[in-house]
Structure formats: C-alpha cells, structure tokens
Structure 1
Amino acid sequence: MNTGVSERRVEHWTLGSPPTDYVLGHVRAVLVDRIVEDALVAVRGGVIAAVEPHPPGLAADVDGQGLLCVPGLVDVHSDGLEKERLPRPGAELPLEFALLSFEGKLRAAAVTTVFHGAGFEESHGRGLARSVAGAEQVCAAVAAARAEGLVDHRILYRLDVRCPEGLAGLRRQLASETGTGPTAAPGPRPALVSHEDHTPGQGQYADRAYYERYLVGTRGMSGQEAAQHVDELIEDRNGRLDVREEALAWLAGRAYAGRIRLLGHDPSSADEIDELVSRGGAVAEFPTTVTAARAARERGLPVVMGAPNVLRGGSHNGNASGRDLVAAGLVTALASDYLPSGLLAAAFALANDAVVDLPAAIRLVTAGAAEVAALPDRGRLAPGLRADLALIAAGPRWPVVRSVLRASDATGRQEPLATGAAPA
C-alpha cells in the first residue's frame, strides 16, 4: 500500500505528534449532523483545512481504511486521576506518575482535552481524602503537564460551597494564576468552576438512604452508625449556611465579571436552575431530576450528564437516568466522571440502541462538550478548527480506538486564564 510517507515519517507519527501538514484519506468522517463516507481530511498547520469526499485516484499521506474519523473527545469532568493515584487502599502513588499513567488511559479512550477535577474542600473517609492542599498540588501538576503532555490537560475547579477552607483556597488559586503565557486566541479564557453541595438530604443525595448505604459499603459502618453519622453531618453543615451564601455571592461576582465560567453541580429543581442563572451560571452539570434538566434547557443552558450513568442505564444514587434524558433531548454533553473509556462507549451504546443517531451521539462527547468548556476551536470536523482527530473501529457492540492524532502545539499553545491580578 502506497501511503505517500516514508518509514521515518511513519515512525515519527507513532512515537509522537503528527506533522502539522498531512492528508488523511478513505475515512468515514463523522460531522455534527451526518457522516461523509469515503472522506478526505486535509490538515495544514495543525488545523483542519478541508473535509470532503475523497476523489478517486488522489493519494493521501495516511489511508484510513474505512475507519470512522471523529474529533478528539473533550472530557469536561474527570475525577479519574484520583483513582489513578490510589489504585488500592493505602497504596498512594506519586502524583506526577499517576498523571502520566492516566494520560495513557485518556489517549486510549480518544480523549484529547480533559478537565481534571480539583476539589477545593476538606473531606475525609475511605479512599483519597480531598483537601485544599491536594487541589493545589493537582493544579500545579496539570499546569506542568500541559507543556509536554500528549493530551491537553486542564482544570475543573470544584468548590464545596459550605467549606470555608475551600473558598479561601480557591480564592488564592485563581488570584495566583495570572496567565502570562502565550495565547492561541484573543483574550484570556475564563476558568471552569463547578460549585457543589453534597450535604445529604438534597442535591446528589436527595434521598439520604443512598448515602447511608454508601457509608455502610465503603466505611464498614452499621446501618445505625451510618444514620447517626448522616445526622451529625447534616447538623454540622447546616451551621455553615453563612459560608454557603458568601461562596455563592463571590462566584456570582466572578461569573458576571467574566473571570469564570460557572457550572451548577447536581441541580434538582427548576428553582435551583433559576438561582444558578441569576448568579451568572452557564452550565447545568449532572442534574438529578428531569425537571431540573428541562428547566436548564428552557433557560438555554448546556446540560452535562455522566457517561457511566448512560452505560449503566441509570444513576447509582436513584437520580435521573442519563439515557432517558438523552432520549428526551435534554442532554448536550457527556462527561467521563471517573471512567474515560465510558465516553465513547456511551456514545456508541446510544447510537446502537437507536436512542439517537451516531453523529448526535458523537456530538455529546465532542462539540457539545467543547461548548460546555467554551472551547470553540475544537470538537468538530470543520475547516479552521484544531486537527484533534481519532480513528475508530465501530466493532459489533463496543468501539475500539485505533489511532489518535492530536494537533501540534504550534496551534494549541496554552492560553492564560481570565484571573489576572485582580483582587480575589
């Protein structure tokens, strides 16, 4: 087979990033609304120059051999790094190694842009405790990884609104990121911030019984001990409502100033969606009810659901089914939550089960997710966008990632966050 490239050039592709200029031929190009059969994708300067039918007899640098070509996946909420750091209780790995190891899983899942969750909170229990110090370490490690990583590593700043230490820590973190590096697009990028409140009895654990069962299963408590612990937790957190109000007011100010792009985590009602919009919120993340999801779409907000929820066919907490919300047209994006491979698998499951067609399913993990993150330069196979591409074998049921071609960093330079040096 004549691919038009030398052995040395092929080796370069295997060991690192593709060249800035190349032609990928004979692929099934998945656009936002259709599939172009036997397509050609031309890349110039790391940017897509053309997506069109492949003319007979025209040589390409790489023969896609009929594989599906999709944009690189965008994962807007990933807690997988936590699991990578602690693969077994008591066996915590160095953060930098865990990030490198996790990058391999992201690449294998066709993820080219990922937002790692950094939890600004103080929580303890079985597993890796979340702390402000830990969140700061993750931010530093991800910033370092962006310079040389094979994936575009970014941060989803997660704030527990009833945690005063978390609020102080996030203030410091955003104020410290002055964004002095080169930028690939005019103006700075607002930081992606999700606010959450996991107090049992509302939000994710609206039915506290699910949280009690979680404590029994993960911490070895008896049913009575779990119920007592939840009572104490609710009482303690109800004493921090003033912190919650301060946090929400501060977030609203940052959102309206364009410093952050605000996500509301686990909204459960139309009233909560209205409150999110009133404080400048831009995205509904993991709504727990159909009512909240519908209200978000009626207010024009993107809606993110978890890919594992879609794969399982329902929530593990008794909340809304992601699959049902997709079928109702109420979901615009999927996030991995904790399972990178779940993104593509969930998309194909939706298409295979005729919940939506394949272009619409792929849109949930590409263009829809890019919209959530306000990254208009990626997520679609369209001229002028980043050439972050993945070649996929559909398989009889589950997809298999055959190759990932991420655009050269000549076109993907790190842009500054919109935090500046303004007072926090």
Structure 2
Amino acid sequence: MIINNVKLILEKEVVAGSLACENGVITAYADTPSQLPEAIDGEGGWLMPGMIELHTDNLDRFFAPRPKVDWPAHSAMSSHDALIIASGITTVLDAIGVGDVRDGGHRMDNLQKMIKAIRHSQKHGLNRAEHRLHLRCELPNDSTLPLFEQLMCIPELSLVSLMDHSPGQRQYVSLAAWRTYFGGKYQMSDAQLDAYQADQLRLAARWSAPNREAIAAWCRQYQIPLASHDDATHAHVQESQAIGSTIAEFPTTAEAARASRELGLQVLMGAPNIVRGGSHSGNVAAADLAAAGQLDILSSDYYPASLLDAAFRLAHDERNAFDLPAAVALVTRNPARAINLHDRGTIAEGLRADLVLVHEHQQQPYVRSVWAQGRMVF
C-alpha cells in the first residue's frame, strides 16, 4: 500500500511526500510523490502516526449510557471501538475503575463484564483499534487490593494508576468544591453529603496508605508501568517517585508538575483541558504547563476527539515551543514509550503502519482515514 501526496509528520520534521507499507509495517517513506497509479491520494493532508491513548473512561458510558441502564457488552464494546478509531486512536488503554463505588456501584458491577468484553473482542479480532487495559485503583476502599490481585496478571494490563478522590486533598483540596461536585452529581441532601463525606474520610484513613504500598509493590515485581494521579504537592510527587511511578497523571498544580519532571516522571495532562482552555476542576491549565515546557503526554480522558484537537491547538499556539512534530509526539511517540511500546508511535521504517490522515478546515483538524497495521479501518 502506498499513500501519496501527504505531509508526513515525522519525529523531528514535516516532509511532503509519500509512504509505503507492506505486511502491516512501514517499509519506506520519501520526500517525493509516488508515480504508481494505484497509490492512495492523500489530497495534501497530514499523515501522522496512529494516536496512543493511555487513560480514557469512554467505555463506561457505553456500558451504562443512562442511570440504571445496563447495555449489552458486545454492542457497548463495538460502539466504543468505533468512536475510538474514528478519533484517530489506534492503540487505547481502556481505564477500568477498581474499588471505585462513586457511581452507585455500577462501575463495580460492570468491572468484570467490561474486562471480559475488552479481552474477548481483542482476541477474536473484532476491534479496529488495539485495546489494552489500564486499572484505575481507587485506594480508599477495602475491596481494591483483593480485586487488583485478581486482575494483575491479565496479559492485556499495560498501566496501573493509584488515585484517591477522598475529600480535602489532591483534586479536592477544597471541601466546598468536593461537596459541590458530589452533591450535584448524586443529588444528595446536606445530611446525606455529610454522612458520605465522613465515610470517605474514614475509608481513606484506613485503606489509602496500605493499598498504595501493596499495589505499587506488585507493579514493581511484575514490571507494570505505574502512574500517580492528581498529585498536588512536592511531597505527593516524592511519594509517587519513591514507590516506582513513572507517569504523573493530571498533576493539579504547577508545583507538582515541576516536581514530577525534576524527579523523572512524565507529566500527563488532559486534552480536554487544552481544548476548553483550562481545567473544569479549577486546577492548573495544561496550556500553562506546555508553555513552561512541563508537558509530556496528552490523554483524551472523557472525550476521545479531544486528543487530535489538542495536539493541533498546541502546535498553533505561539505561547509554547511545540511545533507540529513535537505536539503530535504528545499523543503518539511519548505515550507509546511511556508504556514500553517501541513498535509504534512514529513514522519510521520497520514500525507498525498505524496511520492517520488528517485534514484541516479553518485550523480545525478532522480525521479523513485511519489504517491499523496497514489495513484501512476508517
């Protein structure tokens, strides 16, 4: 297969030319057009590597599209995969909450069902993107460690993150913000919210620290990449680095992001933060970290299409030093390397032909075509 008349987004530069692949891998690329009549005409679009998504909760909303609605697994997985591939994401780590009961228990109820759907669809070639597993371990819960130990040897497991959404710290340093969010989301009265807050604080005091240490120890033993989550202070980052974290997911302050880089953790921020112009929780803006040179990876989090949009926005933003290859690396090469995937993420000979053809309209990028291992899937 040959893709012609494209602007190739390479690791360090953009080159107008063509690309050839065979048997699922890139065999050559050139700064000249192909003369072969069977070549696919890219019509002057950008050709970039397929994007790598490390943390998306998108699967949740297909399994439970409305409160008390339990959707069939095959249909949910198929719909999720279709949206992922249409967004230009060719490798995705589906984030599954372990020990997270904030949504009335539906995440716990769906945990095994979602994992089985991911593994079954991947094993039988039903997906267009490659789906892997990211276990989001909610630490303040007595069920978290036993559930993790049941799941930690699944071959598809590619990342583990440690999170604590209890009130008064990290993402919810402001108790008022915590109460506004959870009171509104779950329609709690003040009395109910008081009881829920007390319960969360009790659970955090009992389980957060021992669960953090135990899960991190398993990850070190089995060499599973480990991420921190919502670190807010230098002390948080020191703790994360000490237990083996290599990725800092969504640091909430500039202090934590700076400390993460100083201690060797790669900083991952939400692409919706870039697209919306700031954090919906009032935390540090990802664009500010980009301008400070403290951004390594973008994640679409809850909105898959934001990944491509955010990369191009950063490339067009004169406040930072990201040219287009560097911005695209945030959603391709950098996340791939962070979880030790060295066969994808850049356009280079011998690597997987996971490719996305992108066009722009009024500086808004959109996906025209997607190839997964050389096969057109969108």
What is the TM-score normalised by the length of structure 2? 0.92
What is the deviation of 1:146?
1.1
CA distance in 2, matches of 1:231, 1:221: 11
Contact map agreement 1:81 1:116 (CA 8 A) in 2:
yes
Pairing 1:129–2:106 present: yes
Match of 1:395 in 2: 361
SS in 2 for 1:260: coil
What is the deviation of 1:110?
0.5
The one of 43, 46, 49 equivalent to 1:65 is 43
Letter in 2 for 1:343: L
Summarize deviations over 1:37-59 as a string: whole Å, max 9, x none: 2x111112211122221257455
Match of 2:263 in 1: 299
Query: How do 1:14-25 and structure 2 match up within 5 A?
Result: 22-25=1-4
Match of 1:202 in 2: 169
Q: Which deviates further from its counterpart, 207-216 or 54-63?
A: 54-63
Letter in 2 for 1:247: N
Total equivalences in the alignment: 371
SS in 2 for 1:303: strand
Match of 1:18 in 2: none
Contact map agreement 2:166 2:201 (CA 8 A) in 1:
no
CA distance in 2, matches of 1:314, 1:214: 17
Pairing 1:171–2:137 present: no
SS in 2 for 1:257: helix
Query: How do 1:245-256 and structure 2 match up within 5 A?
Result: 245-256=209-220
Pairing 1:327–2:291 present: yes
Summarize deviations over 1:177-215 as a string: whole Å, max 9, x none: 3x4xxxxxxxxx873111111111111112122221113
CA distance in 2, matches of 1:272, 1:124: 23
Pairing 1:85–2:63 present: yes
Match of 1:287 in 2: 251
Summarize deviations over 1:51-70 as a string: whole Å, max 9, x none: 22125745552121211101
User: Which ranges in structure 1 are unaligned for 5 or more consecutive residues?
Assistant: 1-21, 180-188, 410-424
Q: Over aligned residues, Cα RMSD in angstroms?
A: 2.0
Contact map agreement 1:190 1:259 (CA 8 A) in 2:
no
CA distance in 2, matches of 1:109, 1:35: 21
SS in 2 for 1:91: coil
CA distance in 2, matches of 1:277, 1:27: 42
CA distance in 2, matches of 1:279, 1:124: 26
SS in 2 for 1:130: helix
Match of 2:334 in 1: 368
CA distance in 1, matches of 2:102, 2:244: 31
SS in 1 for 2:364: coil
In the TM superposition, structure 1's runs of 4+ consecutive aligned residues that sit over 4 Å from their partners are none
Pairing 1:103–2:81 present: yes
SS in 2 for 1:106: helix
The one of 343, 354, 361 equivalent to 1:377 is 343
Letter in 2 for 1:209: A
CA distance in 1, matches of 2:305, 2:354: 17
What is the deviation of 1:408?
5.5
Match of 1:337 in 2: 301
Match of 2:121 in 1: 145
SS in 1 for 2:336: helix
Summarize deviations over 1:141-179 as a string: whole Å, max 9, x none: 11112131111011101111221212101101124x3x4
Contact map agreement 2:4 2:33 (CA 8 A) in 1:
no
User: Closer, same or farther in 2 for the Cα pair 1:226/1:364, shift >3 Å?
Assistant: farther
Summarize deviations over 1:300-339 as a string: whole Å, max 9, x none: 2211101111111111111111111111111111011111
Match of 1:19 in 2: none
Match of 2:72 in 1: 94
Letter in 1 for 2:11: V
Letter in 2 for 1:308: P
Pairing 1:35–2:14 present: yes
What is the deviation of 1:77?
0.3
CA distance in 2, matches of 1:27, 1:47: 18
SS in 1 for 2:225: strand
CA distance in 1, matches of 2:272, 2:136: 20
Letter in 2 for 1:359: P
Contact map agreement 1:24 1:60 (CA 8 A) in 2:
no
What is the deviation of 1:23?
1.5
Q: Which deviates further from its counterpart, 383-392 or 393-402?
A: 393-402
Query: How do 1:158-307 and structure 2 match up within 5 A?
Result: 158-175=136-153, 177=154, 179=155, 191-222=158-189, 224-225=190-191, 228-229=194-195, 231-240=197-206, 243-307=207-271
Contact map agreement 1:307 1:336 (CA 8 A) in 2:
yes
Contact map agreement 2:167 2:201 (CA 8 A) in 1:
no
Summarize deviations over 1:230-267 as a string: whole Å, max 9, x none: 54134322441xx3333222223223324311111111
